[in-house]
Structure 1
């Protein structure tokens, strides 16, 4: 079993409230939480209006599969979130 931890920080200029911030992030729990190999949570910057940090924990049979799934998640987030990715970190256990 291989575990990957993908953490992304998003910058959302012009975000005026926590409610707007949640709407702009667009239901990441619902989209990625359906996959039994992925756990997702808002891991930081919860009280800042213009920044949001999310972590994804991926479980896979091989490190290559874990890396592939992390890449898929990152690519999808880059296209769908109403904000700019300002930092990405990956760790594999």
Structure 2
């Protein structure tokens, strides 16, 4: 079993309220949490309106599958979130 941790730091320029922050993040928890191989949480920047940090923990039986899932998450966020990914950290355990 292989485990990967993906942490994304996202900038949300011009965000004015917590409600707007939730709307701009577009339900990441619901979207990615449906996959039984993925756990997701907002892991930082909880008090800042113009930033958000999300961590995804992915489990797979093979490293190529793990890398594929991590890349898929990162790509989907780049396309769907109304913000800019400023930093990406990956850790394989």
TM-score by length of 2: 0.98
Whole-angstrom CA distance in 1 between matches of 2:17 and 2:10: 15
Alignment of 1:1-80 (within 5 A): 1-80=1-80
Q: Is the counterpart of residue 86 in structure 1 residue 74 in structure 2?
A: no
Whole-angstrom CA distance in 2 between matches of 1:51 and 1:82: 11
Cα deviations across residues 42-66 of structure 1 (Å, max 9, x unaligned)?
0000000100000000000011111
Alignment RMSD, CA only?
A: 0.5
Whole-angstrom CA distance in 2 between matches of 1:47 and 1:22: 13
Q: Where has structure 1 moved over 2 Å in runs of 4 or more?
A: none
Aligned residues: 93
TM-score by length of 1: 0.98
Q: Secondary structure in 2 aligned to 1:6? A: strand
Mind listing any 5+ residue stretches in structure 2 that lack a counterpart?
none
